[in-house]
């Protein structure tokens, strides 16, 4: 007996099947990947649809075929089964507990990350260390999304306190937490999501002399949203250090009133480096001089009176975009690669994302892009 007939198979949970039987001896079966929206169609003997429907992930194929009285040319049958396995329509039942906390995500990873079993991709997410500089609206929303996806170790770096104004855009805001360090309030929020999570709080501002090795050397990915003293400067400091350590840096959108930016993902050896990106935008924006109208009695505060504004929904766009790229990277995917060295911004007035391709200096000794 051929191996395939002893195999136990099932249709993937993330695949919908539509069968149309308009013709007498042939039917069209359309498979629809719910996660990735991809479609696949085959035309085959109508009885094959009955075999597909009978695949229960428990009984070997030979047993199902004999109970259905189904007969088909062996070579042709094996070929179609191999094809459906290769296209991710059929699978061998895995040991994912459908009631487990991450079963839906693992189901999604099975379509999103190719070349690695979904539970392995998920383990890589859980085993990741993420360091977040700046836990305002965007940094905290990224941390929360990664924690919900299973990331279990975080270092949070921010010296600011939660204020009443934080209620607008900080997802972990509560009135009882006003006056607490942001990192402490976020840590409590993350622990409510996952009681096994390990969060270290650093109540400091990232400064030119800050010693980075104690903070980032173990990181799988570092996220920077620290806009004080200025995100361009903090990103250069982090980007240069991390490139040498081969640790990726995500500079998440939101800075300079670009609340709906996709941000920049610096992946050593793959993207342009942080110096090239900075040089590219300095040249592109040479005539652009922002003017900030800070109220005279309020100079010590970061709240810009009469300046830019935005909603929590807008910061969530940037945070979600960044979190998706980071998750793809740490799970072992390659979808993030097509967005490297490009910066997009969702223009609310138009309802479109405008993209800029970032060109490095060809002779750059760091990235050579
Ligand atoms: Zn470069």
2-41 pLDDT, tens per residue?
Answer: 678 888 999 988 899 998 888 888 889 999 988 888 899 9
Average pLDDT over residues 273-299: 69
Query: Matching CATH topology for 3-91 and 127-357?
Result: no
Give residue 363 CA to ligand 1 midpoint distance, Å. Answer: 8
CATH class label, 3-91:
alpha beta
Q: Which of 136-140, 230-234, 305-309 has the highest mean pLDDT?
A: 136-140
CB 228 within 8 A of CB 279: no
pLDDT at 291 exceeding the cut of 60: no
**The pLDDT value given to residue 321:** 96
At 121, the pLDDT band (50, 70, 90 cuts) reads: very high
d(CA 221, CA 139): 13
Give residue 343 CA to ligand 1 midpoint distance, Å. Answer: 16
Average pLDDT over residues 248-253: 92
pLDDT at 350 exceeding the cut of 80: yes
CB 319 within 8 A of CB 236: no
Tokens of 15: 């695949």
Specify the higher pLDDT residue, 293 or 283: 283
Q: Which residues make up the environment of ion ligand 1, defined by Cβ < 5 Å?
A: 273, 276, 360, 364, 366-367
Give residue 356 CA to ligand 1 midpoint distance, Å. Answer: 17
pLDDT at 294 exceeding the cut of 60: no
Q: Would you list the domain boundaries of the chain? A: 3-91, 127-357
**The pLDDT value given to residue 1:** 47
CB within 8 A of 289, min separation 6: which ones?
Answer: none
What is the side-by-side strand order in the sheet with 27-33? 15-20, 27-33, 39-44
CB 199 within 8 A of CB 190: yes
CB 10 within 8 A of CB 53: no
CB 68 within 8 A of CB 51: yes
Give residue 230 CA to ligand 1 midpoint distance, Å. Answer: 21
CATH superfamily for 127-357 is NAD(P)-binding Rossmann-like Domain (3.40.50.720)
Give residue 22 CA to ligand 1 midpoint distance, Å. Answer: 60
Residue 132: CA atoms inside 13 Å, Cβ hemisphere, count? 32
CA angle, 45 then 82 then 20, to 5°: 30
| DSSP code at position 161 | B
Name the residue among 155, 152, 154, 177 with its Cα closest to residue 164. Answer: 177
**The pLDDT value given to residue 322:** 97
pLDDT at 323 exceeding the cut of 70: yes
Q: What is the pLDDT of residues 143-197, one digit of tens each?
A: 999 999 999 999 999 999 999 988 888 999 999 999 999 999 999 999 999 999 9
**The pLDDT value given to residue 137:** 92
Asked which of 94-98, 173-177, 198-202 is least confident by mean pLDDT, the reply is 94-98
At 254, the pLDDT band (50, 70, 90 cuts) reads: low
User: What pTM value is reported for the model?
Assistant: 0.81
**The pLDDT value given to residue 246:** 97
Give residue 262 CA to ligand 1 midpoint distance, Å. Answer: 20
**The pLDDT value given to residue 95:** 65
**The pLDDT value given to residue 293:** 47
Specify the higher pLDDT residue, 77 or 251: 251
At 368, the pLDDT band (50, 70, 90 cuts) reads: confident
At 257, the pLDDT band (50, 70, 90 cuts) reads: low
Name the residue among 220, 225, 214 with its Cα closest to residue 132. Answer: 225
Cα 306 to the chain's mean position, in Å?
34
Total residues found in the chain within this entry: 369
Give residue 270 CA to ligand 1 midpoint distance, Å. Answer: 11
Give residue 278 CA to ligand 1 midpoint distance, Å. Answer: 9
Average pLDDT over residues 61-82: 84
Question: Percent of the chain having pLDDT more than 90?
Answer: 56
CB 104 within 8 A of CB 188: no
CB within 8 A of 101, min separation 6: which ones?
Answer: none
At 295, the pLDDT band (50, 70, 90 cuts) reads: very low
DSSP secondary structure of 55-90: --SSSBHHHHHHHHT----HHHHHHHHHHHHHTTSE
Specify the higher pLDDT residue, 199 or 58: 199
Average pLDDT over residues 200-225: 95
Give residue 340 CA to ligand 1 midpoint distance, Å. Answer: 13
């Amino acid at each position: 007996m051929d191996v395939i007939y002893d195999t136990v198979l099932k249709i993937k949970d993330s695949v919908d099947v539509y069968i149309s039987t308009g013709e007498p001896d042939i039917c069209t079966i359309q498979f629809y990947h719910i996660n990735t929206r991809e479609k696949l169609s085959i035309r085959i003997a109508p009885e094959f649809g009955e075999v597909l429907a009978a695949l229960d992930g428990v009984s070997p194929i030979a047993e199902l075929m004999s109970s259905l009285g189904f007969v088909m040319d062996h070579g042709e049958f094996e070929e179609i089964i191999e094809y459906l396995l290769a296209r991710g329509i059929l699978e061998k039942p895995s040991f994912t507990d459908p009631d487990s906390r991450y079963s839906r995500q693992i189901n999604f990873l099975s379509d999103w990350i190719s070349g690695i079993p979904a539970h392995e991709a998920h383990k890589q997410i859980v085993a990741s260390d993420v360091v977040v500089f700046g836990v305002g609206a965007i940094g905290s929303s990224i941390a929360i999304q990664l924690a919900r996806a299973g990331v279990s170790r975080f270092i949070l770096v921010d010296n600011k306190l939660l204020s009443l104004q934080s209620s607008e855009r900080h997802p972990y805001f509560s009135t009882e937490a006003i006056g607490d360090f942001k990192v402490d309030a976020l840590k409590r929020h993350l622990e409510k999501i996952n009681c096994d999570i390990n969060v270290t709080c650093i109540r400091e501002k990232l400064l030119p002399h800050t010693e980075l090795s104690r903070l980032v050397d173990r990181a799988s990915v570092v996220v920077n949203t620290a806009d004080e003293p200025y995100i361009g400067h903090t990103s250069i400091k982090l980007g240069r250090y991390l490139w040498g350590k081969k640790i990726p840096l995500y500079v998440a959108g939101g800075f300079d009133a670009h609340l709906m930016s996709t941000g920049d993902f610096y992946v050593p050896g793959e993207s342009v480096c942080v110096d090239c990106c900075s040089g590219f935008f300095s040249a592109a924006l040479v005539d652009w001089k922002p003017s900030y109208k800070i109220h005279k009695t309020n100079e010590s505060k970061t709240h810009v009176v009469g300046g830019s504004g935005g909603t929590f929904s807008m910061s969530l766009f940037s945070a979600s975009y960044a979190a998706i790229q980071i998750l793809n990277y740490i799970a072992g995917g390659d979808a993030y690669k097509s967005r490297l060295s490009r910066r997009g911004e969702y223009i609310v007035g138009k309802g479109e994302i405008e993209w800029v391709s970032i060109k490095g200096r060809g002779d750059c000794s760091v990235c050579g892009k």
